[in-house]
Structures are given as structure tokens and as C-alpha cells.
Amino acid sequence: MSTEHPKTLIDAVTYFADPQVCHDYMKSIRWPDGVIVCPKCGGDKVGEIASRRMFQCKSKGCRKQFSTKVGTIFEGSPLSLQKWFVAVWSIANAKNGISSCELARAIGVTQKSAWFMLHRVRLAMKTKSFKKRIKGEIEGDETFIGGKMRNMHKSKRRKLPKGRGTVGKAVVQGLLERRGEARVRVVKDQKRSTLIDLPPRVVPMSMLVERLFLGVVEADEA
């Protein structure tokens, strides 16, 4: 499939109106050589689930299902690629910049969603890639995010388990590429198996250097 870019906004809206076109366009960007690679294990034995526009790894012990969004700035977003691609075109071609309010009106999303999209697209423009992943030696650490128990309504406090400090807070793991960029994600707990199960945004076989109790582990142990 040709990845020739639309020349005008009308061309972009028309071209990316079809979800299948967006899927094929993204696939050609992610894997220009035509070899689809699993973002979890790095294997190339991948089948396509055409009815859902998804892929599934056929490697034994993996079997991960993923879309073309995984490992890109579009990952985790409920917005369709149709809106994302038109937003990217609009931002890249706005000579004097574009505000989140203006982008929200143009593609039919809330101002908060447009603000989120703007930041992700600007990150891609800065790194010159939609799929930049950190690699090499990765430093990791965790923290707890959440309000103080005494500031919560009593109905919410009743639902939380008894305890102090970290009770009721979200565990957030930060991953920093040495002399590079950082990635942050919410994890379910602080167990070793959870922390070393690195996301698709980290290149397989990267080395994770965690806190002293965790030691040094290879990402492919996950």
C-alpha cells in the first residue's frame, strides 16, 4: 500500500474516513518491510484477525493479541485512528500552531482529549517517530499516587482495606532510559513478576536496573 500523504485537509478527512485504510496505513508505517513482529516477545510468527483488525502472536508461550496502536503514541487511546490521523495532519500543517480548543472543534472531541492528543503528537514530532521505544539500560522505580485517607469521603474510606501509607493508592512505575527518555505506567502491584514484565514501549532484551531489592534482570525473563 502506498503511504503517500494527503495534500489538503479535505484529502486527509476523505482518505482516512475508512477504518480499513487507517489500519493498512498504520501497518505500512509500523512494519514497512511487511514482517509483523510481536511487541511482547519479538517473534515474527504473527497471524492477523481481519474481522477485528488485530494481530495474534503464534509463538508458544506468548499468544499475545495486539493492534497497530501498540507501542505507539496512539496506544491506550479509545479514539479511532481516523481522528488521530486527521489530528496529526492538522497539527503538522498548522503554520502558526493549533490550540486544543480549535482541534477539539475540528475533529469532534472534548478539549481535554484534544489537549492529550496535542501533547502526544508533539512528542512524536520531537522524537521523529510514532513508535519510539526506549532500550538499553533502563532504570526503574515505583511510587504511590493518591489522596490522603483523611481527605476522602467516609463512604470511600469504608470501601478501602484498613491500613496506612500506601493503602488505596495507585502504584506507578517510572522507566528511564539512561541518557535518554522516560516512560511511566500504572501497575497493579509491586511484585517482581509485575515490575519486570515490561510494556511494548520498551525494546525486548533491554536491561532493567531496579531498586536494590530487585537487582538487575533481563527484560526477556518477563
**pLDDT (tens digit, 9 = 90+) per residue, 91-134?**
988 888 899 999 999 999 999 999 999 988 887 887 666 555 66
**Whole-structure pTM value:** 0.62
Please tell me the predicted confidence (pLDDT) of residue 41.
84
Q: 141-150 long-range contacts, Cβ below 8 Å, gap at least 24? A: 141/173, 141/174, 141/210, 141/211, 142/171, 142/172, 142/173, 142/174, 142/187, 142/190, 142/195, 143/171, 143/172, 143/174, 144/169, 144/170, 144/171, 144/172, 145/169, 145/170, 145/172, 146/170
More confident residue, 201 or 26: 26
